[in-house]
């Protein structure tokens, strides 16, 4: 059987660059070489694409983050320059070798075409998980893992996501959305409005970012202003949510296209006040409980709502759906958000949830690649001309 050539995209221009490297390392380590030929394509922090000399090897996001802190701010160049061919054709990417440009008997650069059977985006955050890369891959007409342009864009935008959740009748906690432009012009009026409608404490988040980057918990007016300033560093649109009292953080994995399945539910118990970037990747003490210690009926509700949330954003391939369970007497359950490219190391919540559901990591990769090809084949049946 011919091996499928899988282009793994990783790195990227977002604040989750290091997390992406760890996810990609796990994918490379577990792709079955008898079935697949993986091709490492790294996107540097400055947006340059390169055919990497070797795939990433460190599978701990914490180690990658610590290493990055000691590196120079200048991006490290590695591998040959590469470009995606943004139209259907036999060549998916063009690799450009400029090292021989000074010779007199050769052209300025040597260009080599390479066909890829599937692209596996392991890009977290903006410019990778938000529909931008997906749009480029649609132009190239190449199969790719995960949600399409719409599902990816909505899955990244927490504000629009909540609108769709509400329209589908899914429970969401009280929230407001404020543009940075408006906050800078009228901070006093908007702060008073937030205090009247949501009350403290509040969670303040950039609308378009993941891995808890830029998120903080505001407990008073001074904290609210600091939280808004931090979130505004990362996005022009800011989501402010009423904090769920004594919240438990529950998560569920979704796998599939038009008939998605849900994994068992799991719980994250953070080492800090909430599951922020430090608790996720750097600090020690956070732990997970899989399956979550919750009643069977509640676990089934979470699985059902996960599929509903996945469909609400037009998801495909994979997603992790996050919930908040109130510690108050009513034990209210809220859908928090959907992550269309969740952390993907072998110890990430998504892969652990599916391992507990009977799908081991290598089999999970097989399923995702098959789903990408299935969805691509279905789209090829669509007509592009009128009658």
Instruction: Write down the pLDDT at residue 319.
Output: 98
Q: Where in the chain is the domain with CATH 3.30.1490.20?
A: 175-242
Which residues have a Cβ under 8 Å from the Cβ of 90 and sit 6 or more positions away? 113, 115
Which residues have a Cβ under 8 Å from the Cβ of 310 and sit 6 or more positions away? 254, 260, 319, 321, 338
Q: Is 306 exposed, middle or buried (0-12, 13-18, 19+ CB in 10 A)?
A: buried
Mean pLDDT over residues 16-43, rounded? 93
Q: Residue 182 — very low, low, confident or very high, per pLDDT cuts 50/70/90? A: very high
Residue entry with tokens 């991006």: 75
Q: What CA–CA distances, in Å, run from 235 to 174, 201, 205, 290?
A: 21, 21, 9, 33
Reduce the DSSP state of residue 181 to 3 states and report it: helix
Is beta strand 93-97 parallel, antiparallel or unpaired with respect to 4-11?
unpaired
Query: CB 192: neighbour CB atoms within 10 A?
Result: 12
Beta bridge partners of 17: none
Mean pLDDT over residues 19-37, rounded? 94
Taking only the tens place, the pLDDT of each residue in 273-330 is: 654 545 444 445 678 999 999 999 999 999 999 999 999 999 999 999 999 999 877 8
Mean pLDDT over residues 207-211, rounded? 75
Query: Minimal CA–CA distance to 352: which of 273, 299, 287, 281?
Result: 287
Q: Where in the chain is the domain with CATH 3.40.50.20?
A: 4-144
Domain covering 155-170+246-378, topology: D-amino Acid Aminotransferase; Chain A, domain 1 (3.30.470)
**Rounded-to-integer distance, Cα 205 and Cα 216, Å:** 7
Highest mean pLDDT of the ranges 9-18, 22-31, 62-71, 106-115:
22-31
Mean pLDDT over residues 93-107, rounded? 71
Query: Minimal CA–CA distance to 372: which of 256, 217, 261?
Result: 256
Which residues have a Cβ under 8 Å from the Cβ of 121 and sit 6 or more positions away? 9, 128, 129, 133, 134, 137, 144, 145, 146, 341
Contact 81, 43 (CB under 8 A): no
Q: Where in the chain is the domain with CATH 3.30.470.20?
A: 155-170+246-378
Which residues have a Cβ under 8 Å from the Cβ of 104 and sit 6 or more positions away? none
What DSSP letter does each residue of 21-89 carry, written as one string?
Answer: HHHHHHHHHHS-TTTEEEEEEEEPTTS-EEE-SS------HHHHHHHHHTS-SSPPP-SEEEEE--SSS
Q: For domain 4-144, give its CATH number from 3.20.20.70, 1.10.357.10, 3.40.50.20, 3.30.1360.30.
A: 3.40.50.20
Is pLDDT larger for residue 239 or for residue 16? 239
Residue-wise burial string across 72-89, b where 16 or more C-beta atoms lie within 10 A, e elsewhere: eeeeeeebbbbebbeeee
Contact 252, 259 (CB under 8 A): no
Beta bridge partners of 253: 320
**Rounded-to-integer distance, Cα 204 and Cα 227, Å:** 6
Instruction: Write down the pLDDT at residue 101.
Output: 60
What DSSP letter does each residue of 283-352 carry, written as one string?
Answer: SS--EEESS-SS-HHHHHHHHHHHHHHHHHTT--EEEEEEEEE--STT--EEEEEEESS---STTSHHHH
Structure tokens at 195: 């205090």
Is beta strand 4-11 parallel, antiparallel or unpaired with respect to 36-43?
parallel
Structure tokens at 80: 């040959």
Mean pLDDT over residues 16-22, rounded? 87
Taking only the tens place, the pLDDT of each residue in 126-177 is: 899 999 999 999 999 999 999 999 999 999 999 999 999 999 999 999 999 9
CATH of domain 175-242: 3.30.1490.20
Helix (H) or strand (E) holding 113: strand 110-114
Whole-structure pTM value: 0.89
């Amino acid at each position: 059987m011919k091996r499928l050539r899988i282009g793994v995209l990783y790195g990227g221009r977002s604040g989750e660059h290091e997390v992406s490297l760890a996810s990609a390392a796990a994918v490379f380590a577990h792709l079955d070489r008898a079935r697949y030929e993986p091709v490492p394509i790294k996107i540097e922090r400055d947006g340059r694409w390169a055919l990497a000399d070797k795939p990433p090897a460190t599978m701990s996001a914490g180690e990658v983050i610590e290493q990055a802190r000691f590196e120079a701010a200048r991006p490290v160049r590695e591998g040959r320059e590469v470009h995606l061919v943004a139209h259907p054709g036999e060549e998916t990417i063009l690799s450009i070798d400029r090292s021989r440009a000074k010779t007199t008997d050769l052209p300025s650069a040597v260009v080599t075409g390479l066909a890829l059977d599937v692209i596996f985006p392991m890009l977290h955050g903006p410019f990778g998980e938000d529909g931008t890369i997906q749009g480029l891959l649609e132009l190239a007409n190449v199969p790719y893992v995960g949600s399409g342009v719409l599902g990816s864009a909505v899955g990244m935008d927490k504000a629009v996501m909540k609108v769709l959740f509400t329209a589908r009748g899914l429970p969401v906690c009280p929230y407001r959305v404020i543009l940075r432009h408006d906050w800078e012009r009228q901070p006093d009026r908007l702060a008073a409005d937030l205090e009247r409608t949501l009350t403290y404490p509040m969670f303040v988040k950039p609308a378009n970012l993941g891995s808890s980057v830029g998120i903080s918990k505001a407990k008073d007016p001074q904290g609210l202003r600091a939280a808004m300033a931090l979130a505004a560093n990362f996005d022009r649109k800011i989501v402010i949510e009423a904090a769920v009292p004594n919240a438990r953080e529950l998560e569920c994995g979704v796998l599939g296209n038009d008939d998605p399945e849900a994994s068992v539910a799991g719980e994250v118990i953070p080492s800090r006040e909430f599951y922020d970037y430090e608790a996720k990747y750097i600090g020690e003490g956070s732990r997970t409980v899989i399956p979550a210690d919750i009643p069977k009926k509640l676990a089934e509700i979470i699985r059902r709502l996960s599929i509903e949330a996945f469909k609400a954003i037009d998801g495909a391939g994979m997603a992790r759906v996050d919930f908040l369970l109130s510690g108050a007497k009513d034990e209210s359950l809220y859908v928090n958000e959907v992550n269309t490219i969740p952390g993907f190391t072998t110890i990430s919540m998504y892969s652990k949830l599916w391992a507990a559901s009977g799908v081991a990591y290598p089999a999970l990769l097989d399923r995702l690649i098959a789903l990408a090809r299935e969805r691509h084949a279905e789209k090829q049946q669509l007509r592009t001309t009128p009658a």
